[in-house]
C-alpha cells in the first residue's frame, strides 16, 4: 500500500508540473497562436476546420496531457469558431482529450499508473499504442463529422491573422518529450520544463508567483491523492477482489475486448482513475496485453458518460456547456463509444 501511495504522489506531482507548464505555454501565446493557425488553414471550410481541431487536440493531449486540452485548448477553439464549427470543435476537444490519451505513458494519469505494470519502456509503450492511437483519432474525426454533419454544411470563419507560434514554449515542450523518451522521471522532466518557463516569465514580469500557484491547482491535486488513496483501501478488501474477478484471463480477442468493455463500464460508474486502480492488480497478473486493454477501456471509453473522466467535467466548465447539452453528449457517447472501444481493442490485439 505504501509503495502504491508513493507512486500515486509521483503521478500527481507530474500532473501539477504539466499543468503549470501548460498554463505558462498559454500565457506565452502558444494556444492562441494555434487557434489562429487553425482558422487560417481551414480557409472557410468547416470540415477542414474540424480536421485541424481534431489534429491539434490530439497533439496537445499527447504532449501536454488531456487536462491541457480540455482546460486551455477548448476556450481557444470555441472563441475562434462560428455556428458551423462550434459544436464540432467542442466535441473534438473532449473526445480527443480522452481517446488520444492512449499514446504516451504521460498523456493521462491512468497511463502513468499502469505504465510500470506493463514492463515496457517509454518508447516501447508508445510503439505498442501507436496503431491504436492512430486508428482511434481517425475514427473520432469521422464520429464528430457525422454527428455534426448538418452544422458543418455551413462555411467556417476565415482567420487572416498571421500569429507566430512562440518558440520558447514549443522548444521546452519538445525538450520535455525528449527527456521522457530518455527515461527521465516524468515529474522531473515536466517540472524542469515548468521551471524554465516560469523563470523566463517571472523575469519578464509576465506572470507572478500567485498565478503559478493557482495554475498548479494544489487543492485539486490533494483531492486526487485522497480520493485515489480511498480507492486503494477499497481495493484491499473483498470488493476489490470481486472487481478484479470481472476481468477475463488470457490475451485472446474476446478476452481483451471483454476487458476493455468492463473497464469502460467501471469508469462510467466510478470515474476512470479509480477504475484503473481497482482493475490494475488483476490486469497486471493477467499480463501486459490485459493492462493495455484496460487503458483502452478507461481512456477511449471515457467518452461514454460525463462521469467517466475528470476531463469531461473540466471541459464542461471550460466552455463545453456553451456548445452542447449533457443529453447530446450522452447520446453520442452511448451510440459510438462502445463501438470505438471494440475497434481500438481489436487493433491492439492484431498488433500484439
- Domain map of the chain by residue range? 2-350
pLDDT of residue 156 exceeding 80, the answer is: no
334 pLDDT above the threshold of 70: yes
pLDDT of residue 159: 66
Distance between CA atoms of 167 and 32, rounded to whole angstroms? 13
Query: Would you say residue 2 has pLDDT above 90?
Result: no
- Residue 83 pLDDT grade (very low, low, confident, very high; cuts 50, 70, 90): confident
30: confidence class by pLDDT, cuts 50, 70, 90: confident
285 Cα distance to chain centroid: 26
Residue 258: CB partners within 8 Å, gap ≥ 6? 247, 248
Which whole number is the average pLDDT over 133-148?
98
pLDDT at 161 over 70: no
6 vs 216: CA distance, rounded Å = 19
Task: Look at residue 1 and tell me whether its pLDDT is greater than 70.
Answer: no
Q: How far apart are CA 278 and CA 4, in angstroms?
A: 12
For 213, other C-beta atoms within 10 Å of its C-beta total 11
pTM metric for this prediction? 0.90
| Residues near 303 by beta carbon (within 8 Å), at least 6 away in sequence | 94, 95, 98, 99, 332, 333, 336, 337, 340
Distances (CA, A) of 127 to 130, 181, 216, 291, 351: 5, 12, 31, 15, 10
Residue 110 φ/ψ region, left for φ over 0, alpha for ψ in the -120 to 50 degree band, beta for the rest? alpha
Higher pLDDT, 85 or 1: 85
Residue 216: per-residue pLDDT: 86
pLDDT of 4 > 70? The answer is no
Q: Determine the pLDDT at residue 242.
A: 83
> Model confidence at 51, in pLDDT bands (50, 70, 90)?
very high
Using N-to-C axis directions, what is the helix angle for 326-350 and 86-99, rounded to 10°?
40
Q: Is the pLDDT of residue 84 over 60?
A: yes
What was the pLDDT predicted at 160? Answer: 66
Residue 229 to residues 8, 17, 75, 87, 213, Cα–Cα distance (Å):
8, 21, 32, 37, 24
| Mean pLDDT across 173-190 | 90
Please state, in angstroms and rounded to a whole number, the distance separating the CA atoms of residues 68 and 231.
25
Lowest mean pLDDT, pick from 71-85, 110-124, 296-310, 331-345: 71-85
User: What is the pLDDT, as a whole number, of residue 73?
Assistant: 92
The residue-averaged pLDDT of 32-45 equals 82
The confidence band for 53, taking pLDDT boundaries of 50, 70 and 90, is: very high
Chain mean pLDDT for the chain: 90
Handedness of CA 67, 77, 336, 55 (dihedral sign): negative
pLDDT for residue 13: 87
- Chain centroid to Cα 302, Å, comes to 10
Task: Identify the pLDDT of residue 304.
Answer: 98
Measure the N-to-C terminal CA separation of the chain; round to a whole number of Å.
31
Rounded Cα distance between 92 and 58, Å, is 9
Alpha helices in the chain (DSSP H): 2-27, 30-42, 46-64, 66-68, 74-79, 86-99, 109-118, 122-147, 167-181, 186-203, 209-216, 218-235, 238-244, 253-270, 272-286, 288-299, 310-317, 326-350
Rounded average pLDDT over 244-266: 92
Amino acid at each position: 500500500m505504501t509503495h502504491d501511495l508513493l507512486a500515486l504522489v509521483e503521478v500527481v506531482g507530474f500532473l501539477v508540473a504539466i499543468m503549470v507548464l501548460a498554463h505558462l505555454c498559454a500565457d506565452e501565446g502558444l494556444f492562441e497562436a494555434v487557434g489562429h493557425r487553425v482558422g487560417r488553414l481551414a480557409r472557410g471550410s468547416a470540415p477542414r476546420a474540424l480536421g485541424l481541431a481534431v489534429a491539434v487536440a490530439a497533439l496537445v493531449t499527447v504532449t501536454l496531457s488531456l487536462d491541457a486540452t480540455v482546460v486551455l485548448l477548448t476556450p481557444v477553439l470555441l472563441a475562434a469558431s462560428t455556428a458551423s464549427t462550434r459544436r464540432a470543435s467542442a466535441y473534438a476537444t473532449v473526445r480527443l482529450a480522452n481517446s488520444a490519451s492512449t499514446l504516451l505513458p504521460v498523456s493521462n494519469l491512468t497511463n502513468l499508473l499502469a505504465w510500470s505494470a506493463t514492463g515496457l519502456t517509454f518508447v516501447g509503450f508508445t510503439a505498442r499504442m501507436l496503431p491504436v492511437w492512430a486508428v482511434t483519432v481517425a475514427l473520432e474525426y469521422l464520429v464528430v463529422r457525422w454527428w455534426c454533419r448538418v452544422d458543418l454544411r455551413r462555411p467556417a470563419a476565415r482567420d487572416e491573422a498571421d500569429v507566430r507560434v512562440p518558440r520558447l514554449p514549443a522548444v521546452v515542450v519538445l525538450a520535455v518529450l525528449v527527456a521522457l523518451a530518455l527515461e527521465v522521471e516524468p515529474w522531473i522532466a515536466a517540472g524542469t520544463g515548468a521551471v524554465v518557463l516560469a523563470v523566463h516569465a517571472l523575469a519578464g514580469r509576465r506572470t507572478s508567483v500567485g498565478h503559478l500557484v493557482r495554475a498548479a491547482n494544489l487543492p485539486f491535486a490533494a483531492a486526487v491523492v485522497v480520493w485515489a488513496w480511498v480507492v486503494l483501501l477499497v481495493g484491499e478488501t473483498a470488493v476489490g477482489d470481486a472487481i478484479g474477478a470481472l476481468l477475463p484471463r488470457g490475451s485472446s480477442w474476446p478476452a481483451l475486448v471483454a476487458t476493455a468493455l468492463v473497464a469502460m463500464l467501471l469508469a462510467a460508474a466510478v470515474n476512470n482513475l479509480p477504475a484503473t486502480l481497482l482493475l490494475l492488480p488483476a490486469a497486471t497478473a493477467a499480463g501486459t496485453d490485459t493492462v493495455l486493454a484496460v487503458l483502452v477501456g478507461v481512456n477511449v471509453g471515457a467518452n461514454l458518460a460525463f462521469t467517466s473522466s475528470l476531463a469531461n467535467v473540466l471541459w464542461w466548465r471550460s466552455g463545453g456547456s456553451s456548445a452542447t447539452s449533457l443529453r447530446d453528449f450522452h447520446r453520442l457517447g452511448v451510440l459510438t463509444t462502445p463501438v470505438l472501444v471494440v475497434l481500438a481493442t481489436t487493433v491492439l490485439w492484431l498488433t500484439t
